[in-house]
Structure 1
Amino acid sequence: MNAWLQTAAVLTTALGLLAAAAAWRLTRTARGALAVLLDFLTAAGLLPLAGEPSWDSITLAAAVIALRKLLGASLHVSGRPVTGAGRAGPAR
């Protein structure tokens, strides 16, 4: 990987951490902050493909995207509001 691509990946990761901290500070939800961080980490994982792609970099990018999809799906499922008969609270 080119030196500038490696530097760009590290900077993208660092900016992702800062953006996630800002998202947490603004929303006070870990779910939103984690979603922002995962998007930045996905971008940092895809940057090596801009250089000379090898099977190792393609495999790494595929693993990063699969992890992002898995964690994103778990965030979506855990973020669903509970409604109907299963809702917690006082009976009416």
Structure 2
Amino acid sequence: MTTATHWAALAVTAFGLVSAAVVLVAARRLMPALAVLLDFLIAAGLLRLAGDPAWDTVAAAAAVVAVRKLVTAGLRLSPPR
């Protein structure tokens, strides 16, 4: 992985943590904040894939996408407040 993609993935992860915290404070609900965090983690995983397309990196990105799909399904099925 090049230094640029490494730092870009790290920056996206940090922005995701900050964005998820803002959503958690604003919405006072965990699921939307988790969805935002997982979107940023998917972006960071794709950046890591651009630098190092190893099988463990592909598996990690696929796991994050699968968790994101489960969270999205949970958001759709949760009753409105």
Would you say same fold, with TM above 0.5?
yes
TM-score by length of 2: 0.78
**CA RMSD in angstroms, aligned pairs only:** 2.0
Paired residues, what number? 81
Larger Rg: 1
Q: 1:70 to 1:45 in 2, by over 3 A?
A: same
More helix by share: 2
Greater RCO, CA 8 A, separation 6+: 2
Percent identity between the two aligned chains: 51
1:23-47 CA deviation, whole Å, 9 max, x = no partner? 1222222222111111111111111
1:65 paired residue number: 65
2:18 paired residue number: 18
TM-score by length of 1: 0.70
Q: Shift of residue 16 of structure 1?
A: 0.6
Query: Where does structure 1 lack aligned partners over 5 or more consecutive residues?
Result: 82-92
